[in-house]
Amino acid sequence: MARAFVTGGNRGIGLAIAEGLIAQGHEVLIGCRDLAQGQTVAGKIGAGAVELDLCTPLSIRQAAVSVPEIDILVNNAGVLGTGSVLDDPAGFDEAMQVMVHGPMLLMHCLVPGMKERGYGRVVNVSSGWGAFSDGVAGPGAYGVAKAALNALTVASARTLPSSVKVNAMCPGWVRTRMGGMAATRSPAEGADTAIWLATLDSAGPTGGFFRNRQNIEW
């Protein structure tokens, strides 16, 4: 049994990832801004909850201290934004903090322990909108932040031993608060590839970008 930490795990794709990992027998902690809400959700699925504000480095460091010996880190939390990439500097800063700086700092804090224990899996929940092959699309800074998260995935995987695997994935268009109810996939369907990457065996890939458990272009 591994110990997993899923950011933004109180709803949507993050919740489905947490539920899927619990179903496989893993211990799961979910990170969320509203601790009371997180505890309510966690209690329903058999997880633990940790207060985590990805816009605040101190909150990230405190959360990392409170979740020692994490084997699986799923950087799932995200913000969509509005308008074009140059319209809203504050929105750009928030997108980069939540989807790039926050995941990087969590990895900085938690990956050394994975290396010491000889086992770790990091899953960065990205998007096809962050792919150069798809034109770095999406509203606001979303695509730019996801492209940067993809770059973080490649760069960090290159520096780590094969026992610690770092991969990015695209869940597709999912019926969540962000994706809307017209989306074509359920949260469970969107979570499947993330759960697969979170539980890869020793022969599994690292430094890749996946959708439907298949490698896709950056």
- For 66-127, strand residue ranges (E) read 72-75, 120-125
Q: Which residues have a catalytic role annotated?
A: 142
Render pLDDT for 3-28 as a digit per residue (tens, 0 to 9).
Answer: 999 999 999 999 999 999 999 999 99
- Domain locations along the chain: 3-215
Please list the helix, strand and coil fractions of the chain in percent, rounded to the nearest 5, in that order: 45, 15, 40
Please determine, for residue 179, whether its predicted confidence score (pLDDT) is greater than 70.
no
The CATH number assigned to the domain with range 3-215 reads 3.40.50.720
pTM of the model: 0.96
Tens of pLDDT, residue by residue over 51-80, are 999 999 999 999 999 998 999 999 999 999
**Tokens matching residue 33:** 């801004």
Distance CA 153, CA 149 (A): 6
